[in-house]
């Protein structure tokens, strides 16, 4: 037992030192982004846990600015794809073009060949285009013609969608929604933050430039350390309990939720909940996961993985309401 506690203490010190760049990164992003600390924190969790992030919020909440600033601070290649109803899969992944001089087909790579992909207003393109992202998001590779290309790491899809517009939008297929580690719902800034935003945007010197703080190689090393973060067996049992409660609520004395849930979280939900908890602990400069880490990331990992029945929609019950009930009912270790 003493040996284990010594190992954890050593790991804790190692991670405390290695995670110091997180504070520097947040400070650098704070130069361009006023408020929205929660969103920036979630983007960093996705980055450290190798998970894609779906941002949902009304226009003008600095979603695009945050993603662009993050890629500048990491000195990585950034690519923006504006999703529209007439977009084609080839516009995202690339295509084969005939070269008359060489008398052969050559590959023209699409904008997906970058480290950070901003899929802006992803719900404006039909399912055919959205499915072009699936292979890249899951296998980290792209197939054009007969050739498969490995994508350069770190590779992160950060998608935005507008929740208020219904015309000209397409609901994301469940298979794709499940590939996003986190779905982050963004709110309006406070009055004081909005005053700062006005002041910053009216600055005669223009917008603040973001300086590179770290390299992509440092992120890859940090990802390895995130997986080393210690997770106790009690927390390993707590995570499946939370996910299973979305599938079989009656087993957790939550019979009233049964008619409200169409389907619960998949095993991918459990994996992502564990990974996001480790990344959150790493960001808090800790070498071990506590139950509060799991509860902090639970809503972002689970909100898009709990399907609601018509009954739930009729009663205005949201997935957040269901997750709150589950977190209150499932025993915390």
Residues 6+ apart with CB under 8 A from 46: 52, 53, 156, 158, 181, 182
Q: Which residues of the chain form CATH 1.10.8.80?
A: 229-329
Q: What is the pLDDT of residues 207-235, one digit of tens each?
A: 667 888 888 888 888 889 899 888 889 99
User: Of 136, 156, 146, whose CA–CA distance to 93 is shortest?
Assistant: 136
The answer to whether 115 and 68 are in contact (CB under 8 A) is no
Of 277, 276, 311, nearest to 180 by C-alpha is: 276
Beta-carbon contacts of 34 under 8 Å, excluding residues fewer than 6 positions away, are 62, 189, 193, 196, 197, 200
Q: Name the pLDDT band for 14 (thresholds 50, 70, 90).
A: confident
**What is the average pLDDT score of the chain?**
84
| Highest-scoring range by mean pLDDT, 62-71, 121-130, 181-190 | 181-190
Tokens found for residue 230: 């210690």
Count, in order, helices (H) and strands (E) of the chain.
Answer: 15, 11
Distance, in Å, from the CA atom of 320 to the CA atom of 333, rounded to the nearest integer, reads 22
Neighbours of 9 (CB within 10 A): 12
User: CA 313, 316, 319 angle in degrees (round to 5)?
Assistant: 75
User: Any idea which fold 19-205 has?
Assistant: Rossmann fold (3.40.50)
Do the Cβ atoms of 110 and 95 come closer than 8 Å?
A: yes
For the chain, helix, strand, coil in percent to 5 are 50, 15, 30
Q: Residues 138-179: pLDDT tens digits?
A: 888 888 877 888 888 888 888 888 776 666 677 777 777 888
The residues, ordered by sequence, that sit 6+ positions from 86 with a Cβ below 8 Å of its Cβ are none
Q: Is the per-residue pLDDT at 2 higher than 60?
A: no
Rounded CA gap, 81 and 122, in Å? 9
Q: What is the CATH number of domain 229-329?
A: 1.10.8.80
3-state secondary structure at position 60 = coil
| DSSP letter, residue 183 | E
Instruction: Note the residue count of the chain.
Output: 333
Q: What is the pLDDT of residue 4?
A: 60
Task: Give span(s): CATH 3.40.50.300, the chain.
Answer: 19-205
């Amino acid at each position: 037992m003493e040996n284990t506690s010594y190992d954890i203490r050593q790991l804790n010190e190692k991670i405390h030192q290695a995670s110091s760049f997180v504070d520097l990164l947040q400070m650098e992003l704070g130069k361009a982004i006023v408020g929205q600390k929660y969103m920036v924190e979630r983007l960093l969790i996705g980055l450290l846990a190798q998970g894609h992030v779906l941002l949902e919020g009304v226009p003008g909440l600095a979603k695009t600015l945050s993603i662009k600033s993050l890629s500048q601070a990491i000195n990585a290649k950034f690519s923006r794809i504006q999703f529209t109803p007439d977009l084609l899969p080839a516009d995202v992944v690339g295509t084969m073009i005939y070269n008359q001089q060489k008398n052969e087909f050559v590959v023209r790579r699409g904008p997906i060949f970058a480290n950070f992909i901003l899929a802006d207003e992803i719900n404006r393109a039909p399912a055919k285009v959205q499915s072009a992202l699936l292979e890249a998001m899951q296998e980290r590779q792209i197939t054009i013609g007969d050739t498969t290309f490995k994508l350069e790491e770190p590779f992160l899809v950060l998608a935005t969608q507008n929740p208020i517009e219904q015309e000209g939008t397409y609901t994301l297929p469940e298979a794709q929604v499940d590939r996003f580690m986190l779905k982050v719902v963004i709110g309006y800034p406070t009055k004081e933050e909005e005053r700062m935003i006005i002041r910053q945007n009216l600055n005669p010197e223009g917008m603040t430039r973001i300086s590179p703080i770290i390299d992509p190689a440092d992120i890859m090393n940090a990802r390895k350390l995130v997986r080393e973060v210690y997770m106790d067996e009690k927390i390993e049992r707590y995570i499946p309990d939370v996910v299973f409660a979305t599938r079989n609520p009656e087993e957790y004395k939550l019979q009233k939720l049964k008619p409200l849930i169409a389907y619960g979280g998949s095993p991918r939900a459990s994996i992502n909940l564990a990974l996001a908890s480790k990344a959150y602990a790493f960001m808090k400069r800790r070498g071990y996961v506590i139950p509060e880490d799991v509860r902090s990331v639970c809503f972002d990992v689970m909100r898009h993985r709990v399907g609601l029945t018509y009954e739930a929609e009729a009663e205005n019950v949201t997935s957040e309401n269901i997750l709150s009930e589950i977190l209150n009912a499932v025993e915390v270790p």
